[in-house]
Structure 1
Amino acid sequence: MTLEFPNRSRSFDETRNAVRFIGYDGMFEVPFFVEADALSRPDGIARSEAECLTAFDAACNSIHDVARKAYAPGRRRAYVLTATDFR
């Protein structure tokens, strides 16, 4: 199966300081987090919760592409994408 993202919902996880979104491998739910630092502004200043969600929405397709590359079936309970994953 290919990792898909049919549901465009996302939320901000304050504890992790990251945006949470879900992928699906067939019927299996795969949780992902994008650290706020990976969504930081070009000037390096941290974003607020609302800015992180807006940045996620703007880069949603490329974030999903990075998530597909990071995904390995059955390997982890959740995947955390960092700024390094986007370089």
Structure 2
Amino acid sequence: MTLIFPNPSRSFDSARGAVRFTGYDGMFEVPFLVEIAALGKSAAELRPSDGLEATCLSAFDTLRTSIYSAATRAYSEGRRGPLTLTSADIR
């Protein structure tokens, strides 16, 4: 099967310092996390004064194609969930 992302939902997980999203391999749900640091080149780019959650979700939306590509690579490499994507995975 192929990993797909039919649901554009994502959520901020402040406890883990990440954004959560889900992919699907057939009928199997595959959970992912993207570290906050992977969403911007520096803390200044994340503009925490604007509200960290909103800023991180906006950054996720901007990088969505790259994040989905990185998630697909990580999943195809055999990593299992929840898979955490870092800056090294996305860049």
Matched residues, number = 85
TM-score if structure 1 supplies the norm length?
0.88
Match of 1:78 among 74, 78, 82: 82
Runs of 5+ consecutive residues of structure 1 not aligned to the other structure: none
SS at match of 1:15: coil
Equivalent position amino acid for 1:69 in 2: R
Aligned partner of 1:57 in structure 2 is 61
RMSD (Å), alpha carbons: 1.7
What's the % identity of the aligned pairs? 59
Equivalent position amino acid for 2:67 in 1: I
Following the alignment from structure 1 to structure 2, what is the Cα–Cα distance between the partners of residues 73 and 83? 17
> Whose helix fraction is larger, Structure 1's or Structure 2's?
2
Runs of 5+ consecutive residues of structure 2 not aligned to the other structure: 47-51
SS at match of 1:71: helix
